Amino acid sequence: MKGFILLILLCVSFAGISQNVLTPDLLWKLKRLSGGTLSPDGKFVLYEVRTYDVVLNKSNNDLFIYDLKKNKSSQITNTPFSELEAQWGKNNTIWFLSTEKDGLQVWKMNVEGQEKTKISNFKDLEIEGFKIAPDESSFILIQAVKVLPTIQDKYPDLPKANARAEDDLMYRHWDKYQDFKKRHLFVYKIADNQITTQGEDLLFNEKFDGILPPHGGSEQFNYSTDCKKIVYTSKKKLGKEFAVSTNSQLYEYTIETKQTKLLTEGYKGYDVNPIFSINSKYLAWQSMAEEGHEAGKNDIILRDLSSGKDINLTKNNDVSVTDFQFHPNQKDIYYIAAHLGTKTIFKVNIETLVHTEITDETCDYVSLAITENSIIAGRQSMIAPTDLFEISLKKGKAKQLTEINKELLSKIDLPSIEKRWVETTDGKRMLVWMIFPPKFNADKKYPALLYCQGGPQSPVSQFFSYRWNFMVMASQGYVVIAPNRRGLPGFGQEWNDAISKDWGGQAMKDYLSAVDNVSTEPYIDVNRIGAVGASYGGYSVYYLAGIHNNRFKTFVAHCGLFNLESWYGTTEELFFANHDIGGAYWKPENKEFYAKNSPHNKVNQWNTPIMVIHGGMDFRVPESEGMQAFQVAQLKGLKSRYLYFPEESHWVTSPQNSLVWYREFFEWLAEDLKH
């Protein structure tokens, strides 16, 4: 009977919502565009489109070409196999990885998708990435290579033993246990569509990765313009030393001599993503100055290869770079950075160091390709998934090139977005994004959701997320409140750094300032406000549960940090914890921080329903954090639910698990906020 009543309530609560809105099921029908690279002759743009099959619980990746002269897109692969890592060779050839025939192999074809040729015939290689030399003289593979002994190596007479013996840290990372392998770079020479040499291991006999694990890929290494050298990113540290440091370096490998040299001696933080200028004059890369700070200011360092002199191109622009490319004139570099709640394109002149803001729109730019007169860029917003746009460098106007989801989006009503500035408790101005339901009527009362961002230093920009999708939330009838609280990039490094060692301080006040300000609006039902978030956002939910003074009717925390002491003792990349919360809880100087900032110390004030979600393969915020929070709620007699995904990590990425997540999420909210 109770379940029947709940079903009726759910049906009634959503009866007033238009049927022509984005739902979780429709979200998984959206095509996902990535890439957008320019052909050598500047006539075509190569991009990838991923589609998902919920029934099969899998995805497929196909390749597309946009003809800039004909203003037309063409699909050039349509197979049951995913084509991955697509890139240009010379003469507009396209190189890619595909699982078609004999596992993952290197292939090439022409710009029409014809004359497909399989270049490699690898057997039993674990391939995780790929890059072709611009002159097609060789290519680089990321390969998993066993470099560390297993328990079976130690006890060969016990082949079925299932055990690990660890003598150092980093035995697990993000969502995987250390598999006794490292990701090495191998260069293979080719001629006449054939591999002519055995792969040369750039990190031969080294127990390090040639990329930054676990998320680094082919963007972290590049060929020199003459294709004779390779520059790659590596953090050549192991165990505890790896866990407490962000000091990655750039290394140069000469293919003919097989010699390696360090390029970034004296640089202390992350140094990644090297790019050579076409004229061979410069090497540029992204760099953070401070070791141990993963969210420091990300600058572009430019090295004059003739003099060896380095210049920090973005030192005087208070933004943090996420992507960059050289203009063909080799005098300018275009880059993307979070700026005032969006991801904006800037230009910096190499000689004058003058910065120019190129775009000023309510959107995020997420990729760059530069022609002589325009920028080809991926663009998205909170209510529009990624498509390709062309931005005129003379007029500054953006023209949409692709509309890969036009048919689906044309049939639904869109939410609306508003930029709101709120005064904080310390007298600062804070940007709050407001996302309103489709056909919003200011004369009606709406339930609201405070969105708490993770990171903690990741922007609340105009991102279109497939995990925390504001468009879906607003389309279910909620007003979404998304503050750019203390600790988010895009408002200067001082604002960004203010979160460190003050997790439960000003950032929490910022959240409450946003809610209190918005609650004065007549369209907000102050008796139906919830708070939701993941990672640091989940931490925020746990913390707010102890201090909110009955502002919220319900909470949802996904993969949140609940007990900072137990979290410090089980997380893996300790440089983050050391920088942001001051380090170990047993140090006397940190006693006050842990007492003030750990949510578990405020559970005496918990009095509100809470849903806890966690993934079993989340090693950044281990599952015990969620279990502790749920257990507290249960023992205190609070209405609570624990949603657990044994095979998911910090995120929920498989289609069917994601739909379970969304259905449980909205069911929980409806129970407390829809009446």
Spatial contact of 465 and 32, defined as CB atoms under 8 Å apart: no
Spatial contact of 245 and 267, defined as CB atoms under 8 Å apart: no
650 in active site: yes
H-run or E-run covering 375: strand 374-381
- Active-site option among 98, 650, 658, 672: 650
Q: What span, in angstroms and rounded, lies between the C-alpha atoms of 650 and 477?
A: 27
Dihedral, CA of residue 213, residue 149, residue 129 and residue 99, to nearest 10: -130
Q: Is 480 helix (H, G, I), strand (E, B) or coil?
A: strand
Beta-bridge mates of residue 34: 48
- DSSP E strands in 133-204: the ranges are 138-146, 172-173, 176-177, 181-191, 194-195, 200-201
Sign of CA dihedral 376, 340, 461, 220: positive
Spatial contact of 376 and 369, defined as CB atoms under 8 Å apart: yes
Spatial contact of 34 and 48, defined as CB atoms under 8 Å apart: yes
Q: What is the spatial order of strands in the sheet that 94-98 belongs to?
A: 83-88, 94-98, 105-109, 117-118
Spatial contact of 175 and 619, defined as CB atoms under 8 Å apart: yes
A 10 A CB-CB count for 162 gives: 7
618 in active site: yes
User: 311-332 in b/e burial notation, b at 16+ Cβ within 10 A?
Assistant: eebbeebbbbbbbbbbbbeeeb
- Active-site option among 245, 248, 277, 535: 535
Q: What span, in angstroms and rounded, lies between the C-alpha atoms of 265 and 274?
A: 15
Q: Which long-range contacts (CB under 8 A, 24 or more apart) does 402-410 make?
A: 402/33, 402/47, 402/64, 402/66, 402/73, 404/31, 404/33, 404/49, 405/30, 405/31, 408/26, 408/29, 408/30, 409/384
> How far from chain centre, in Å, is Cα 185?
23
Return the structure tokens found at 554.
């319900």
- Active-site option among 175, 310, 618, 672: 618
Spatial contact of 615 and 658, defined as CB atoms under 8 Å apart: no
Return the structure tokens found at 462.
């105009």
Q: In angstroms, what CA-CA distances link 122 with 55, 118, 125, 140, 198? A: 32, 11, 6, 14, 11
Residue with tokens 């440091």: 245
Spatial contact of 437 and 449, defined as CB atoms under 8 Å apart: no
535 in active site: yes
Q: What span, in angstroms and rounded, lies between the C-alpha atoms of 103 and 87?
A: 19
Q: Give the active site residues.
A: 535, 618, 650
